[in-house]
Amino acid sequence: MCKHILNAQVSIRSPCCRQWFDCAQCHADAQTHTLKQAMEMTFACKKCKKCFRKDMNEFDESDEYCPHCDNHFVIEAVEPKARLEVEGEDVRKDARMLKDERVKAKEGFSIWEDEGEASRLG
């Protein structure tokens, strides 16, 4: 399973070490050599599990679809890392803001404690 592109539609057979990878980053993680760029690439569709070849020199819009099941495999990648970082930052900012507000509220409460209790009793 590729952890870089969550919506990967195909596996790519690397021309250098002839192993299957979901993306170039997966290859970089598993291998020490750089991914070789080839004019003809072999893909395996994740939807129908069939393999097909594409000539990268003549790659156009119609080649973005699996020839077996028409699965559109050239799509905008969903990258989990970038999204989690943004969410994490926001949560931290929110937590800090909430804490500050709570501290201020407590200070305010201690000043008006008597009146608050009095009004509640009354």
Residues that bind Zn ion (CB under 5 A): 2, 4, 14, 16-17, 22-23, 25-26, 31, 45, 47-48, 66, 68-69, 71
Q: How far apart are CA 54 and CA 9, in angstroms?
A: 15
CB of 36 to Zn ion, least distance (A): 6
Mapped onto helix, strand or coil, the DSSP state of residue 30 is: helix
Please say which residue, 22 or 54, places its beta carbon nearer to Zn ion. 22
Please say which residue, 54 or 66, places its beta carbon nearer to Zn ion. 66
Distances (CA, A) of 40 to 6, 115, 120: 25, 80, 79
CB of 20 to Zn ion, least distance (A): 11
The residues near 39 (Cβ < 8 Å, ≥ 6 apart) are: 55, 56, 57
CB of 92 to Zn ion, least distance (A): 27
